[in-house]
Amino acid sequence: MKRTLIALAATLAATAALAQAQYPDKPVTIVVPFAAGGPTDKVARDFAEVLRKGLNNQTVIIENVGGAGGTLGAGKVAKAAPDGHTLLLHHIGMATSPGLYRSLPYKTLDDFEYLGMINEVPMTLIGRSTLPANNYAELVKWLEANKGKINLANAGLGAASHLCGLLFQQSVKIDMTTVPYKGTGPAMTDLLGGQVDIMCDQTTNTTGQIEAGKVKAFAVTTTKRLTTPALAKLPTLDESGLKGFNLTIWHGLYTPKGTPKAVQDQLNAALRNALKDPEFIKRQEGLGAVVVTDARLAP
Ligand code: ASP
């Protein structure tokens, strides 16, 4: 009996070592649960470049599985093989969706291994360039005057843009028609085209458009003004009259439940390594985001 146990322990140790030695043995896919071109996609593509350095330079592919506020993509990863070759890069929706959806295609706490946080991202309130308002006070006047006709774009139930939009509507006490997209990438395309009026979206998606003058920017959602040059002039919603308005979102990395511990450790080390990359930090800061200093709550 004792011998059998020793043999079993040796086999398990050898299997774990083998998993570590061989991982990754094919391209790693990061599922982004939103459309391409949006804020989470931008973070993921930037992050993939640095993550691969910690994964023997293996190719890291982005797969966009947008829809239903990020829950479809998360559901896909929950059912993927737990071998570390399919990862999920998701945001605050991971925590808020269980409270917003009657049923989800996954169990938030049971179906994933949590690898760590990546960044924190503030949001901005922006509008189409043809809006007659040029600052927050003028925006509120325009909203008041156009009650019942305002279209507010978002990335679906539970997405950051949806939550921010709801909080904003509640704070200014004006109901708007919410227009859901598979991500704020396509929502931004419609905002640029003037098909929708306003949107609350992450700075990783809005900074470039604000800088280029393609959208009107009214405020940031943090209680402190931001330091990123293109965003520094924007007032906070808090100082603009919505006292206490404070919203920042985070992104984290997950792998399906049951991924071998050795693979999780390797992924966590690659994640920590990526978070220290000066170029990654610089690029994220240029988009208003803050890279976390360590992989919090990591194994
Ligand atoms: N993260 C979403 C996206 O990448 C947007 C959102 O959550 O509002 O499109």
pLDDT digits (tens, 9 = 90+) for 196-234: 999 999 999 999 999 999 999 999 999 999 999 999 999
What is the pLDDT at residue 5? 52
Model confidence at 45: pLDDT above 60? yes
CA of 263 to the centre of ligand 1 (A): 28
Model confidence at 175: pLDDT above 90? yes
Per-residue buried b or exposed e for 147-170, using 16+ beta carbons within 10 Å of the residue's own CB: eeebbbbbbbbbbbbbbbbbbbbe
What is the pLDDT at residue 22? 86
Mean pLDDT of the 79-90 span: 98
What is the pLDDT at residue 4? 55
198, 205, 206, 249: which to mutate for ligand 1, most atoms within 8 A of CB? 205
Model confidence at 14: pLDDT above 80? no
Q: Ligand 1, atom 1: nearest CA belongs to which residue?
A: 40
Residue 21 banded pLDDT, cuts 50, 70, 90: low
Q: Ligand 1, atom 4: nearest CA belongs to which residue?
A: 40
Strand segments (E) across 52-134: 60-64, 86-91, 112-128
Mean pLDDT of the 261-285 span: 95
CA of 184 to the centre of ligand 1 (A): 5
Q: How far is CA 292 from the centre of its chain?
A: 14
CA of 261 to the centre of ligand 1 (A): 30
Model confidence at 11: pLDDT above 70? no
What is the pLDDT at residue 293? 82
What is the pLDDT at residue 7? 54
Q: What is the pLDDT of residues 92-148, one digit of tens each?
A: 999 999 999 999 999 999 999 999 999 999 999 999 999 999 999 999 999 999 999
**Cβ atoms < 10 Å from Cβ of 138:** 14
Model confidence at 17: pLDDT above 80? no
What is the percent of the chain with per-residue pLDDT over 70, rounded to a whole number?
Answer: 91
Q: Ligand 1, atom 9: nearest CA belongs to which residue?
A: 183
Bridge partner list, 178:
152
Work out whether strand 198-202 and strand 112-128 pair parallel, antiparallel, or are unpaired: antiparallel
Q: Three-state SS for 138?
A: helix
Model confidence at 171: pLDDT above 80? yes
Under 8 Å between Cβ of 269 and 295: no
Q: How far apart are CA 190 and CA 168, in angstroms?
A: 20
Q: Ligand 1, atom 3: nearest CA belongs to which residue?
A: 183
**Cβ atoms < 10 Å from Cβ of 74:** 25
Residue 9 banded pLDDT, cuts 50, 70, 90: low
The model carries a pTM of: 0.89
Q: What are phi and psi of 120, to 5 degrees?
A: -120, 140
CA of 35 to the centre of ligand 1 (A): 8
What is the pLDDT at residue 297? 45
Model confidence at 37: pLDDT above 60? yes
